[in-house]
A and B are shown apart, each in its own frame.
Chain A
Amino acid sequence: MIGGLFIYNHKGEVLISRVYRDDIGKGRGGWRNAVDAFRVNVIHARQQVRSPVTNIARTSFFHVKRSNIWLAAVTKQNVNAAMVFEFLYKMCDVMTAYFGKISEENIKNNFVLIYELLDEILDFGYPQNSETGALKTFITQQGIKSQTKEEQSQITSQVTGQIGWRREGIKYRRNELFLDVLESVNLLMSPQGQVLSAHVSGRVVMKSYLSGMPECKFGMNDKIVIDKQGKAGASDEAGKSGKQSIAIDDCTFHQCVRLSKFDSERSISFIPPDGEYELMRYRTTKDIILPFRVIPLVREVGRTKLEVKVVIKSNFKPSLLAQKIEVRIPTPLNTSGVQVICMKGKAKYKASENAIVWKIKRMAGMKESQISAEIELLPTNDKKKWARPPISMNFEVPFAPSGLKVRYLKVFESKLNYSDHDVIKWVRYIGRSGIYETRC
């Protein structure tokens, strides 16, 4: 299991060190040796990081980086590597939930809290309950709160219980929930316009402000569910809905969802955590709506000039508006000057980023726009040809490129006197570009 956990700043100075196991500190110098080994071999290494797992002198180091802060878990054993990384991410989430951005200053200001958290969520290197909702009930920055016996046992039963993510006795005057379907659409296209790979990775994020311990059921236009219902119901309805349903390649759920029920009935039922959390993640590859098409044309004119023309076409309903559109056209390292003409938006050559960045605030569906640029090159002796990185795009659209639709979210709370109809529900769809690249 995890033998120790260290947090470093970008200089390699230790901000937090918590040792869980003796084995990482055997020999002279104790665990300080491990701390130094990581600094010297990873943080101060000249080379780019070649692996997130490093083995130095039979000691393994796992690290993740958040801005310029390094989090490193150390072990001497054959630990579950996936678990260690999941834990490090979780650790970042917990810290963010407590004090915001993970920065050197915030860590220093909250070091007592961090030690307290580390004592709670990792015992002898074994991760324990790390749900922020539960932790916040008893790890507070207010010092000691005089708890009644009932409160204490409520805390412990929640931390260890089946529903460790929600406490009892939550009350809201207005029962309300927000569902965000957030998708990122990924594309790799050949210069000729052939889709090399495309997928949507989506998340359903829920903000719930519901009283009591509500039982929820979530439904979407999952092809498997619709087909099953179609068989049972009228055939014309099946035909109609069949068109609208989507094939989900795979999905994963927050730990509140009853997985065995999903496995057997494909229904998504759960008692939600209070506040914001990610209900599910999913991935689709079939029938994706690609919101934009990029058509590149790069011509080398002699050895010192490049002509670039890029056309973008929007491919969705004309009534919808895409926002925050940005096209990034890479330029060679020996670029000496760039002249750009674009019909819409603003375009700039950014020498430090080796790219022409073309920004358009808004663009409706079924439109097209164009940019052309002349790139002057310095003559070089470098034999190596320019690698021509792909043209990448960023955007945001108000629909789900996978075609996912929320069909219902039902709330049942038998003990309290509110029903599904009393809950105010909001649904929003946002499609964003993931890695959206066209080779040129």
Chain B
Amino acid sequence: ETNKLYCTSVKCCIFELKAELNSDKKEKKKEAVKKVIASMTVGKDVSALFPDVVNCMQTDNLELKKLVYLYLMNYAKSQPDMAIMAVNTFVKDCEDPNPLIRALAVRTMGCIRVDKITEYLCEPLRKCLKDEDPYVRKTAAVCVAKLHDINAQLVEDQGFLDTLKDLISDSNPMVVANAVAALSEISESHPNCNLLDLNPQSINKLLTALNECTEWGQIFILDCLANYTPRDDRESQSICERVTPRLSHANSAVVLSAVKVLMKFMEMLPKDLDYYGTLLKKLAPPLVTLLSAEPELQYVALRNINLIVQKRPEILKHEMKVFFVKYNDPIYVKLEKLDIMIRLASQANIAQVLAELKEYATEVDVDFVRKAVRAIGRCAIKVEQSAERCVSTLLDLIQTKVNYVVQEAIVVIKDIFRKYPNKYESVIATLCENLDSLDEPEARAAMIWIVGEYAERIDNADELLESFLEGFHDESTQVTTQQNTQVLHKHTQNTPDSDNPDLRDRGYIYWRLLSTDPVAAKEVVLAEKPLISEETDLIEPTLLEELICHIGSLASVYHKPPNAFVEGSRGVQHKRLPARTASGESAESPDAGQSVGGVSDAPPAVIPSQGDLLGDLLNLDLAPPSASVPVVPASMQMGVDLLGGGLDSLVGLHRPSGSQYLSGDIGGSPIAVGLAGGTGGMPAGLGGTPAMGGGLGDLFDLGGGVGMATGSYVPPKAVWLPAMKAKGLEISGTFARRGGGIHMDLSLTNNAMSIMTDFAIQFNRNSFGLAPAGPLQVLTPLAQNQTIDVSLPLNTNGPIMKMEPLNNLQVAVKNNIDVFYFSCQYPISLLFVEDGKMDRQVFLATWKDIPSENETQYQIKDFHLNSDAASTKLQGSNVFTVAKRTVDAQDLLYQSIKLTNGIWALAELRIQSITPNYMLALKCRAPEVSQYICQCYELLLRN
């Protein structure tokens, strides 16, 4: 019967409906409204009926009333003036004796986004928020969020936020849950004001409501709890204890939100605590259970497990089997399971994993098969003992001759060769047999690499390479790059006795294209290849931390921070994991935990080293810079630049003193302790702050700040690219940190006979992701014998690859004549950031927490500065003295440094008055940077 409604509604005209709506008969009226709603649903515009429908509003038939309200919600916005007609009925309904009708009215009114109506909404809403019936209150709580979305100012002015806060203490659990949901949403658009005001008392209320409210309410409360930072490990543990029962809830979202709270608060627990281990064990079973949910939820769960496995691999390391793919799993579940299998693969389970992967490689879905083949290669790289079996499995797969399987296998074998050089070359013959079937760029590039790399072991390497060269012009850049490299590679190995003139000539062409300097070419091409990393596609640690804070949400499904897919202000705020704070030494300020978030687990930098070193440089875009950079009138650009530079240097001057002033009470302790030590009175411990410290410290720091006019250390310019290597272009330069930004200061000199134009610059991947923040601003042509100074702002958002030495930077500069390559090294102090001052307690905890094998000792010889002067000097380059202690005529400075990528280094600098030698002990979770930091210490102190 209603089916008819759907059909006729399309045909039936507005006129007929109008008549029916105005009918005297109630039944007819109701049927007409139904037809209107049906038309609305299928997308027909029935807004013309607005007055007629609103006329039906005053009825005692609840069903009819609901339909009219539904209509109003849809069309009120397009007919604001007429919507006012409805206000009276709403206001009246808000006073109805039936709580269901009161709630209905306040619920609907909030959905009508017409300014004039919202004014009338305030009074009824105020009453409903204090209604005797919980059903009305819980509806009114959500209504505040609705109103806030329409007119935030109004909500604040009317004091609704306070009423909403009061509802958190309501006796009814559902009212509490909705109030929490509304407040959480409102506070997202006010990140700074502490709307929710979470404190141990309110947390206790929430935890009580958690046991009593609906499954959805539990989710709201858990998601809200996750935003709280407990004061210390004891509070953290007690919250965890009360949240763990939720892991047995039938609703997967409740479980995932509980997991989020636990994963976050666990960060604060000491690892040696028994409870810590218990909690870890409790997390695995519910995560596995999520995999027996419906496929869509499995997908959400798997995306989250992928994050959890990266953050805490120990939780699921014994659960490999549950991630085995089932034949009938939807493809999205299969791909995610495979991803997790690779992450969990270890020596203990590798045999099983390989057997599974081989099975998957024969399935139907091409993406899945490719991923499975790739996974076999990852296993070989990850678990050395399995490499041989992996290679033989891959060879088996190549024998299937399935085109995409073969190509994928060759790509991963290349990686295996890179990881284990000269070990499996016996398989090369088999690979060469399949040369003809390779039609994908990545596979061709891989094959060329293999042939070039093992040229001396392949009899007909020349021919093979040449066969690839035939299609040179049609190839993608990936392949051509690889060809260039490998032809050159072969060339540099045996140029003199290559008796194939064709190959030699071609080689020369590429050679010239690359550089005019054969020595440099050899340096570049035959350079040590970077090690291949064991883990693939690891999420960058700070992002991972943020995503852990978003477990269960869309961000965790996309593996992207919310601001990457949410518009406007919502979700822009970055979340971080709390740092560990022991109850005995609880942090002095509540936000100390946040400001140093993640210190306790400062993860090592992720260094993916796939791809070829040279590849990137050769891929340099050869188009003139104007193509990608909007052309800005030179004069204006210059003006901005000057101003920017001026401001920068001003800020650079003042910032250290300013920030020092703010943290006066901490920074102040050195002098106070120093005094105490001098009189030989109190033994001053690292943790103790003498009462008088603060005031004196301020004075001292003021002085220090003003006296420190030099700012951070800038090494003198050095010649990076001599003119004879670059057709007359000489580049010298240095690096500087100014105003919190990194700059590469270059001097370009034209020693050639013609003018130079169209400059562009590009960096190769490097250890810290340094990359130009803008184009190289050489706007006027560079005339003969002219020198121009350019300051290139840099950022650290570029691609990352571990370099040797770590601070090496390979640069390509292009002008109208050619492309030139050079490499230079930057002082690592360039990367010391301004907020690198660690809280004292955190410093102490972190120092203890970093294992002693990560400690390195250095001696800085023949040095005569006293400790205060040294401290001041270092501070100018963002090496911050956290505390100072004097023992046996030795000054001990405890210092913290933070690098741009979030790595912290902690230092103990021992200054003896008797000998002119400084002793430096460095502790860092990424010990490979220690050596470079030490070099910087010496550099900074001596200049």
Question: Interface on A for B, CB 8 Å cutoff?
Answer: 1, 13-17, 19-23, 32, 35, 48-53, 55, 58, 60, 62-64, 75-83, 85-89, 105, 108-112, 115-116, 119, 123-124, 126-131, 138, 143-144, 147, 149, 152-153, 155-157, 159-162, 164, 188, 190, 196-197, 199, 201, 249-255, 258-260, 262-263, 278, 280-281, 283, 383-385, 387-390, 392, 435, 437, 439
For residue B11, give the distance in angstroms from its CB to the closest CB of chain A: 16
Q: B60-82, CB under 8 A of A: which get 1 and which 0?
A: 11110011011001100000000
Q: Are A252 and B553 in contact (CB under 8 A)?
A: no
The 3 closest A-B pairs by CB, nearest first: A250-B285, A156-B135, A82-B253
Known: A112-B34, A156-B100. A384 touches B174 (CB 8 A): no
Q: How far apart sit A428 and B565, CA to CA, in the bound complex (Å)?
A: 50
Q: Are B324 and A197 in contact (CB under 8 A)?
A: yes
Q: Which residue of the partner chain A has the closest CB to B297?
A: A85
Q: Are A19 and B74 in contact (CB under 8 A)?
A: yes
Contact check: which of B70, B359, B570 meets A439 at CB < 8 Å? B359
Q: Are A283 and B63 in contact (CB under 8 A)?
A: no
Which residues of A have CB within 8 Å of B246? 259
Beyond the given pairs A78-B571, A160-B134, 4 more chain A to chain B contacts, judged by CB atoms under 8 angstroms and listed by A's residue number, are A77-B554, A115-B37, A128-B174, A160-B172
Q: Does B110 make an interface contact (CB < 8 A)?
A: yes
For residue A157, give the distance in angstroms from its CB to the closest CB of chain B: 7
Which residues of B have CB within 8 Å of A435? 326-328
Q: How far apart sit A13 and B10, CA to CA, in the bound complex (Å)?
A: 13
Q: How far apart sit A138 and B567, CA to CA, in the bound complex (Å)?
A: 38
Known: A105-B3, A116-B66. A249 touches B285 (CB 8 A): yes
Can you list 13 A-B pairs, Cβ within 8 angstroms, ordered by A? Answer: A19-B73, A50-B332, A77-B554, A80-B223, A80-B553, A81-B557, A82-B253, A83-B219, A111-B37, A124-B146, A128-B174, A255-B214, A435-B327
Known: A79-B553, A156-B134. A255 touches B215 (CB 8 A): yes
Q: Are B296 and A116 in contact (CB under 8 A)?
A: no
Number of A-B contacts (CB under 8 A): 288
Q: How far apart sit A115 and B42, CA to CA, in the bound complex (Å)?
A: 14
Known: A82-B252, A111-B38. A389 touches B327 (CB 8 A): yes
Q: B283-307, CB under 8 A of A: which get 1 and which 0?
A: 0011011001011110111000000
Q: How far apart sit A283 and B97, CA to CA, in the bound complex (Å)?
A: 49
Q: Are A124 and B145 in contact (CB under 8 A)?
A: yes
Q: Are A126 and B220 in contact (CB under 8 A)?
A: yes
Q: Are B216 and A128 in contact (CB under 8 A)?
A: yes
Q: Are A109 and B1 in contact (CB under 8 A)?
A: yes
Q: Are B550 and A262 in contact (CB under 8 A)?
A: no
Which residues of B have CB within 8 Å of A157? 134-135
For residue B93, give the distance in angstroms from its CB to the closest CB of chain A: 14
Which residues of A have CB within 8 Å of B103? 156
Q: Does B255 make an interface contact (CB < 8 A)?
A: yes
Q: Are B42 and A78 in contact (CB under 8 A)?
A: no
- Range class of the B interface residue count: 35 or more
Q: Are A52 and B174 in contact (CB under 8 A)?
A: no
Most buried by B among A19, A62, A160: A160
Which residues of B have CB within 8 Å of A88? 296
Known: A80-B257, A112-B63, A160-B172. A263 touches B248 (CB 8 A): yes
Q: Does B692 make an interface contact (CB < 8 A)?
A: no
Which residues of B have CB within 8 Å of A388? 362
Q: How far apart sit A11 and B294, CA to CA, in the bound complex (Å)?
A: 24
Q: How far apart sit A190 and B356, CA to CA, in the bound complex (Å)?
A: 10
For residue B228, give the distance in angstroms from its CB to the closest CB of chain A: 17
Known: A81-B552, A252-B289. A109 touches B3 (CB 8 A): yes
Which residues of B have CB within 8 Å of A152? 98-100
Known: A13-B42, A86-B252, A259-B249. A78 touches B555 (CB 8 A): yes
Q: Which residue of the partner chain A has the closest CB to B77?
A: A22
Contact check: which of A58, A124, A252 meets B565 at CB < 8 Å? A58
Which residues of B have CB within 8 Å of A389? 327
Interface residues of B in 356-370 (CB under 8 A from A): 356, 359, 362-364
For residue A48, give the distance in angstroms from its CB to the closest CB of chain B: 6
Which residues of B have CB within 8 Å of A281? 250, 289, 292
Q: Are B244 and A263 in contact (CB under 8 A)?
A: yes
Q: How far apart sit A89 and B181, CA to CA, in the bound complex (Å)?
A: 21
Contact check: which of A49, A55, A131, A164 meets B330 at CB < 8 Å? A49
Q: Does B931 make an interface contact (CB < 8 A)?
A: no
Which residues of B have CB within 8 Å of A252? 248-250, 255, 286, 289
Contact check: which of A82, A89, A251, A390 meets B248 at CB < 8 Å? A251
For residue A10, give the distance in angstroms from its CB to the closest CB of chain B: 15
Which residues of B have CB within 8 Å of A112? 2, 34, 37, 63, 67
Which residues of A have CB within 8 Å of B326? 188, 435, 437
Q: How far apart sit A112 and B330, CA to CA, in the bound complex (Å)?
A: 34
Q: Are B292 and A201 in contact (CB under 8 A)?
A: yes
Q: How far apart sit A99 and B6, CA to CA, in the bound complex (Å)?
A: 18
Which residues of B have CB within 8 Å of A13? 42
Q: Does B205 make an interface contact (CB < 8 A)?
A: no
Q: Which residue of the partner chain B has the closest CB to A55?
A: B565
Q: Are B249 and A255 in contact (CB under 8 A)?
A: yes
Q: Are A144 and B555 in contact (CB under 8 A)?
A: no
Q: Does B475 make an interface contact (CB < 8 A)?
A: no
For residue A153, give the distance in angstroms from its CB to the closest CB of chain B: 7
Known: A111-B38, A138-B100, A383-B402. A85 touches B294 (CB 8 A): yes
Q: How far apart sit A64 and B352, CA to CA, in the bound complex (Å)?
A: 33
Q: Are A253 and B248 in contact (CB under 8 A)?
A: yes
Q: How far apart sit A164 and B401, CA to CA, in the bound complex (Å)?
A: 62
Interface residues of B in 270-323 (CB under 8 A from A): 285-286, 288-289, 292, 294-297, 299-301, 321-322
Q: How far apart sit A87 and B215, CA to CA, in the bound complex (Å)?
A: 10
Q: Are B253 and A83 in contact (CB under 8 A)?
A: yes
Known: A19-B74, A156-B135, A260-B245. A52 touches B216 (CB 8 A): no
For residue A419, give the distance in angstroms from its CB to the closest CB of chain B: 28
Q: How far apart sit A251 and B556, CA to CA, in the bound complex (Å)?
A: 25
Q: Does B212 make an interface contact (CB < 8 A)?
A: yes
Q: Are B245 and A259 in contact (CB under 8 A)?
A: yes
Q: Does B41 make an interface contact (CB < 8 A)?
A: yes
Q: Which residue of the partner chain B has the closest CB to A134?
A: B214
Q: Are A79 and B211 in contact (CB under 8 A)?
A: no
Q: How far apart sit A81 and B299, CA to CA, in the bound complex (Å)?
A: 10
Which residues of B have CB within 8 Å of A78? 550, 553-555, 562, 565-566, 570-571
Q: Are B134 and A111 in contact (CB under 8 A)?
A: no
For residue A238, give the distance in angstroms from its CB to the closest CB of chain B: 24
Which residues of A have CB within 8 Å of B359? 439
Contact check: which of B3, B139, B214, B248 meets A164 at CB < 8 Å? B214
Q: How far apart sit A63 and B251, CA to CA, in the bound complex (Å)?
A: 18
Q: Does B133 make an interface contact (CB < 8 A)?
A: yes
Q: Are B149 and A22 in contact (CB under 8 A)?
A: yes
Q: Does B743 make an interface contact (CB < 8 A)?
A: no
Which residues of A have CB within 8 Å of B174? 128-129, 159-161, 164
For residue B916, give the distance in angstroms from its CB to the closest CB of chain A: 58
Q: How far apart sit A49 and B334, CA to CA, in the bound complex (Å)?
A: 13
Q: How far apart sit A82 and B292, CA to CA, in the bound complex (Å)?
A: 14
Most buried by B among A76, A128, A149, A188: A128
Contact check: which of A22, A81, A116, A251 meets B554 at CB < 8 Å? A81
Q: Are A17 and B41 in contact (CB under 8 A)?
A: yes
Q: Which residue of the partner chain B has the closest CB to A6?
A: B41
Which residues of B have CB within 8 Å of A82? 252-253, 255-257, 297, 300-301, 552
Q: Does B681 make an interface contact (CB < 8 A)?
A: no
Which residues of A have CB within 8 Å of B211? 258-260
Which residues of A have CB within 8 Å of B567? 23, 58, 76
Q: Which residue of the partner chain A has the closest CB to B324?
A: A197
Contact check: which of B250, B253, B362 meets A80 at CB < 8 Å? B253
Q: B148-184, CB under 8 A of A: which get 1 and which 0?
A: 0100000000000000000000001111001001000
Known: A51-B299, A260-B211. A162 touches B173 (CB 8 A): yes
Which residues of B have CB within 8 Å of A1? 181, 185
For residue A185, give the distance in angstroms from its CB to the closest CB of chain B: 12
